[in-house]
């Protein structure tokens, strides 16, 4: 397997427009109200149709779902009723969305599919897989369950799609994806879609893709930025709570949180600790020895969050720092560059997140326009959003660990049946169980994310430009 994607023998392919698909699919596209193909839809299709593996960097909302569904429908329409395409998805909500889009596009086309995800009954999934289905869309954990049970067979698989690969890794699905790889045929076409390209995604690509072409639809298409610039407009009176929720959703391995004053540093650090996070602080009045001790912990990954002022953070150079949180916007917007620059060092990926009010958002957008920074605005997560995400993430991790439980471990765990029964019978049952779940979650965070194999990542510093020519393809049979 070749890890290079900068220089390959792959010819640059011409974008594919909607009217180039077979007539029934063109009609389905028009019925969806789509006029012209979005860049990611036009650019990715030629590679999938020609059988070339691709790594695709594209933002959420860029039209990437159709970018892989349309070529799959084009290729699989009227084919044998076996599982020929597997789409791996991070969440059940996204799996439902992709399946709904597939149903809408194939109403009068002979291509079927099924959505498979945790938290739902196995029975309809068993029935759909038993009857045979061409496209399977699902979360890695539940897909792996079906593979282990033998209810899903991938021996006829032709296409493998990773949708939102960075999110799947964040959810803790790496081990499940590696195990799924044991069931995959060697000869297949694989495409990986991701909004960001951290080292973990590149390593995942190194494991699953063969001589992939890198296609970027984030920004101007001429280079891959090593950094994502995100901002949330939050209520100033609820900014501290918003920070906690954003941290829960983003789930960073480590990060620096910038505040403007020493008092704010002390408050945020205390807040993080009160919520159970591993955090420390540095400010201007801290002794040099104390400051160096805190920095040493951060560099060795013994500290998850550092809260600091600009003065205290001068000279910080940590190659493995993942996140920068700007809790207080500086009056001088140029200071943003210095703060954000604490991450994305030594070629690593970095993410800068700013919490701003309405007026600060206007100033930040003007600054981004002036400096050529591509900003992403996200809606501040609600408590319901946080709970939903944690529920799905922890359920997936627990199910994954349960699959690895040996017979002896299962036998040993039965000793605690009496404890469980006593807890459930007590007045504080819910509080005790929530405490145990929270302790498990915190221990998982301290242990770090799944150990992704330390291999050389695929270099993706250069991007495939607009394709230059057409290509021939066989039109699939249509439903009569």
Same fold: 18-216 with 231-383: yes
Residue ranges of domains in the chain: 18-216, 231-383, 386-447
Which residue pairs from 147-152 have beta carbons closer than 8 angstroms and sit at least 24 positions apart in sequence? 147/180, 147/183, 148/403, 151/125, 151/126, 152/83, 152/116
pLDDT at 209: 95
Rounded average pLDDT over 7-26: 81
Q: What whole-number distance in Å separates Cα of residue 342 and Cα of residue 103?
A: 45
Q: What CATH number should be reported for the domain whose range is 231-383?
A: 3.40.50.300
Higher-confidence position of 333 and 203: 203
pLDDT at 316: 63
Q: What whole-number distance in Å separates Cα of residue 284 and Cα of residue 277?
A: 23
What pLDDT digit, counting tens, does each position of 90-132 carry? 988 899 999 999 999 999 899 999 999 987 888 899 998 988 8
Instruction: Give the Cα-Cα-Cα angle 233, 235, 236 (nearest 5 degrees).
Output: 105
Q: Which of 38, 43, 45, 40 is nearest to 21 (CA)?
A: 45
Give the CATH architecture of domain 18-216.
Answer: 3-Layer(aba) Sandwich (3.40)
Give kind and range of the element (H or E) at residue 385: helix 383-403
> Residue 7 burial by CB count (10 A; 0-12/13-18/19+): exposed, middle or buried?
exposed
Lowest mean pLDDT among 33-37, 69-73, 261-265, 345-349: 345-349
Rounded average pLDDT over 450-458: 48
The answer to whether the CB of 38 falls within 8 A of the CB of 199 is: no
User: In the sheet that 305-308 helps form, which strands lie side by side, from edge to edge?
Assistant: 279-282, 305-308, 255-258, 323-326, 350-356, 227-233, 375-378
Rounded average pLDDT over 184-204: 88
Rounded average pLDDT over 52-73: 89
First to last CA, the chain: 41
Give kind and range of the element (H or E) at residue 440: helix 429-447
Phi and psi torsions of 229, nearest 5°: -115, 110
Cα–Cα distances in Å, from 299 out to 56, 296, 327, 455? 32, 5, 22, 21
Q: Which of 109, 169, 113 is nearest to 138 (CA)?
A: 113
Highest mean pLDDT among 220-229, 294-303, 375-384: 375-384
Count of other CB atoms within 10 angstroms of residue 165: 28
pLDDT at 373: 85
Rounded average pLDDT over 254-267: 91
User: In the sheet that 85-88 helps form, which strands lie side by side, from edge to edge?
Assistant: 113-116, 135-138, 85-88, 159-162, 189-194, 54-57, 213-216
Q: Which of 351, 348, 272 is nearest to 308 (CA)?
A: 272
Instruction: Give the Cα-Cα-Cα angle 422, 424, 427 (nearest 5 degrees).
Output: 95
pLDDT at 404: 86
Lowest mean pLDDT among 4-18, 78-92, 168-182: 4-18
Given a cut of 80, whether residue 343 has pLDDT beyond it is no
Report residue 196 CA to chain centroid gap: 8
| pTM (predicted TM-score) | 0.75
What pLDDT digit, counting tens, does each position of 411-450 carry? 999 999 999 999 999 999 999 999 998 888 877 766 554 4
């Amino acid at each position: 397997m070749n890890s290079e994607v900068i220089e390959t023998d792959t010819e640059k392919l011409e974008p594919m427009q909607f009217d180039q698909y077979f007539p029934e699919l063109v009609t389905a596209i028009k019925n969806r109200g789509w006029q012209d193909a979005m860049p990611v839809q036009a650019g990715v299709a030629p590679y999938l149709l020609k059988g070339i593996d691709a790594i695709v960097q594209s933002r959420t909302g860029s039209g990437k779902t159709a970018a892989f569904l349309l070529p799959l429908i084009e290729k699989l329409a009227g084919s044998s009723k076996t599982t020929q395409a597997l789409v791996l998805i991070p969440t059940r909500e996204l799996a439902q969305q992709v399946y709904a889009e597939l149903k809408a596009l194939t109403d009068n086309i002979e291509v079927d599919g099924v959505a498979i995800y945790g938290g739902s009954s196995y029975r309809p999934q068993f029935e759909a897989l038993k009857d045979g289905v061409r496209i399977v869309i699902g979360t890695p954990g539940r897909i792996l369950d079906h593979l282990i049970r033998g209810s899903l067979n991938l021996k006829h698989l032709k296409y493998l799609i990773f949708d939102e690969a960075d999110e799947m890794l964040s959810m803790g699905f790496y081990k499940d994806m590696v195990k799924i790889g044991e069931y995959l045929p060697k000869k297949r076409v694989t495409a990986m879609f991701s909004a960001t390209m951290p080292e973990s995604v590149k390593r995942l690509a190194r494991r699953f893709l063969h001589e992939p072409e890198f296609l970027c639809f984030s920004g101007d298409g001429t280079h891959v930025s090593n950094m994502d610039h995100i901002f949330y407009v939050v209520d100033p009176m609820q900014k501290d709570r918003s920070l906690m929720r954003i941290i829960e959703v983003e789930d960073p391995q480590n990060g620096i949180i910038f505040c403007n004053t020493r008092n704010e540093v002390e408050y945020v650090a205390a807040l993080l600790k009160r919520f159970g996070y591993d955090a420390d602080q540095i400010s201007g009045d801290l002794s040099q020895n104390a400051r160096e001790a805190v920095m040493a912990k951060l560099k060795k990954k013994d500290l998850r969050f550092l809260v600091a002022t600009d003065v205290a953070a001068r000279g910080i150079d940590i190659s493995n720092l993942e996140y920068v949180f700007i809790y207080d916007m500086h009056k001088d917007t140029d200071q943003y560059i210095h703060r954000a620059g604490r991450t994305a060092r030594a070629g690593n990926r970095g993410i800068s997140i700013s919490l701003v009010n309405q007026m600060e958002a206007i100033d930040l957008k003007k600054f981004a326009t002036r400096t050529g920074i591509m900003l992403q605005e996200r809606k501040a997560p609600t408590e319901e959003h946080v709970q939903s995400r944690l529920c799905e993430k922890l359920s997936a991790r627990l199910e994954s660990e349960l699959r690895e439980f040996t017979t002896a471990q299962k036998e040993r765990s039965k000793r605690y049946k009496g404890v469980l029964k006593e807890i459930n019978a007590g007045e504080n049952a819910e509080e005790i169980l929530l405490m145990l779940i929270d302790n498990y979650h915190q221990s998982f965070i301290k242990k770090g994310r799944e150990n992704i194999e330390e291999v050389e990542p695929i270099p993706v510093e250069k991007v495939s430009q607009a394709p230059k020519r057409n290509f021939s393809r066989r039109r699939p049979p249509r439903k009569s």
